[in-house]
Amino acid sequence: MKIGEIAQRTGLKVETVRFYEAEGLIAPPERSGGNYRLYGQSHLDRLAFIKRSRDLGFTLDQVRDLLRLADDPRGSCAEADAIATVHIQEIDRKLADLAALRAEIAQWGGACTATIIADCRVIDALSHA
């Protein structure tokens, strides 16, 4: 399949497929007589793995490591588990940061009784860090 089709089937942009190829995350595809990239099922499977990993928030370096691990089905799962554990810790940190942001905004959100911006509690709070 050509790059447009594999992009459509994976939900990725054509540029993203090219980027993943340039980064070495997928093997270079065969080329047609007209020099079009021709992707196979293995490319489709690998791109789906990459997309799912990225959708879950894994970094490109983490995805690269996970792909390396996936390429060795007899390898130990411990490293994949460690990558996932680090990622969960990062998610937890981000959730805590978001909860703190929400609490701060909730203090002044909805509590503004002003009728003009000059007296607005939200604008005032944002203006005085």
80 touches 63 (CB < 8 A) = no
17 touches 6 (CB < 8 A) = yes
CA distance 3 to 18: 8
The arithmetic mean of pLDDT across residues 47-58, rounded, is 98
User: Is pLDDT of 129 > 70?
Assistant: no
pTM: 0.82
Range with the poorest average pLDDT among 4-8, 60-64, 97-101, 107-111: 107-111
pLDDT bin (cut points 50, 70, 90) of residue 113 is confident
Residue 108 is predicted with a pLDDT of 77
The arithmetic mean of pLDDT across residues 71-88, rounded, is 95
Q: What is the length of the chain?
A: 129
- Dihedral of the alpha carbons of 102, 108, 112, 117, in degrees to the nearest 10: -90
